Amino acid sequence: MTGTARAGSRLPPWRRWLRALALLAAMHGAAAAWAQPAQSAAAAASGPADAVQEGRLVINNRPIATFRATLLGRAPRERALAARTAVEAVVQRGGPGQTAVWRAQDGNTTGLQLDGIMVFYLSADDLDPGLSLAEAAEVVRGRLQIAVNESREKSDPHRIALGIAYSAAATVLGYLLLRATFSLRRRASIRVTSIIDNWDPSRRRSLFATYLHHARSATLLVVLALTWAVALLVIYLWATFVLRQFGYTRAWGERAQTPFTPPVDLTPGDEQCGWQSLLGIGHQDTDPLDLTAPPGMRIVGASSDHLVIASAHRLPLGSEVAFRPGYSALVRAMGSRYLQQMVCGGSRRATRCA
């Protein structure tokens, strides 16, 4: 028994880590199995008010819509399952993948079409408070278009080959940058060591030599830290670029929103815009919901002190953008102490500064 214990204590480090990971996986599985009966019991104990549960339509890891009402005899979860099945069936047919919105005459129901085929419906009872059916339909249509495009990319040989070519080029460039970074590090280390070692050879045995030794060690550590920082940055940029080339490795997290409700722009078409710019104006200065952007630009979002706009062309740093304000935006702007107000008209001209 003693020999067995000693043999176990001399296991290679990688086997110890493997055993620890296996133990953690077993504990996690046991915890999940124990939690499932508890969740089932809680669901069974819930009252009739929880009988109708929300159904989320998710395609290619992207949330498309949330169904909350029973429509045509189908519960929300059944509607979500049927909608996903319909969308996948239309995508597999290999059509152009164009989405469209169909609106009923009564105004209480709208439908989403994919390649001219109705895939699911939205009703007014599915919406959040304060959101119109037309706005919600456009939001869902934009999300569905993005998910369909990415689903089609997964089986498009031309797009996959193009992604492989771009990834290979990025890999070669990243390798060259890493090699150049570490080569510069070696040269810098040799140069620093040579300078410090040749500094006043007559005083090498004095206290000054001790400080030079510490200075050399500290300098080499700084050079090493900078080298690895640059290397990690290159690796991060390379991985980000490569993963974005393929639909099945592209980031699919939901975009966060500011605490201000409702959002400024509910159209998720930001990926189609070439440039986004950050302007120094926000909710504390005016009402972004009541601003009209110039032609060719679109308001994407706003925070307390900044406004994000999307445009087809890049705006130079320091550019000024003129918006057409509505009544709410004008009133808040004229009362803001962070803005300069100028009233121009006829012979009267007044200026008030903060």
Q: Cα Rg for the chain, rounded, in angstroms?
A: 31
Residue 47: predicted pLDDT: 38
Distance CA 267, CA 114 (A): 18
Distance CA 332, CA 282 (A): 11
Least confident range from 108-112, 196-200, 333-337: namely: 196-200
For the chain, percent of residues with pLDDT exceeding 90: 19
Structure-block tokens of residue 195: 């300078």
Distance CA 254, CA 61 (A): 10
Chain length of the chain: 354
- pLDDT tens digits along 212-239: 677 778 888 888 999 999 999 999 999 9
Please determine, for residue 270, whether its predicted confidence score (pLDDT) is greater than 50. Answer: no
Please determine, for residue 210, whether its predicted confidence score (pLDDT) is greater than 50. Answer: yes
Distance CA 79, CA 93 (A): 21
Residue 169: predicted pLDDT: 95
Per-residue pLDDT band for 165 (boundaries 50, 70, 90) equals very high
- What residue segments make up the domains of the chain, in order of their start? 55-154, 158-243, 270-352
Residue 190: predicted pLDDT: 85
pLDDT averaged over every residue in the chain: 77
Question: What sign has the CA pseudo-torsion 265, 268, 269, 275?
Answer: positive
Least confident range from 185-189, 210-214, 217-221, 248-252: namely: 210-214
| Cβ atoms within 10 Å, residue 233 | 12
Bridge partners, residue 56, by sequence = 66
* Residue 62 Cα to chain centre, angstroms: 12
State the helix-helix crossing angle for 207-243 and 157-197, rounded to 10 degrees.
Answer: 180
For the whole model, what pTM was predicted? 0.49
Please work out, in degrees rounded to the nearest 5, the angle formed at the alpha carbon of residue 265 by the alpha carbons of 259 and 271. Answer: 110
Residue 239: predicted pLDDT: 92
Please determine, for residue 268, whether its predicted confidence score (pLDDT) is greater than 50. Answer: no
Distance CA 154, CA 244 (A): 12
- pLDDT tens digits along 106-145: 778 889 999 989 999 998 888 877 678 888 888 899 889 8
Bridge partners, residue 329, by sequence = none
Classify strands 348-352 and 62-67 as parallel, antiparallel or unpaired.
unpaired
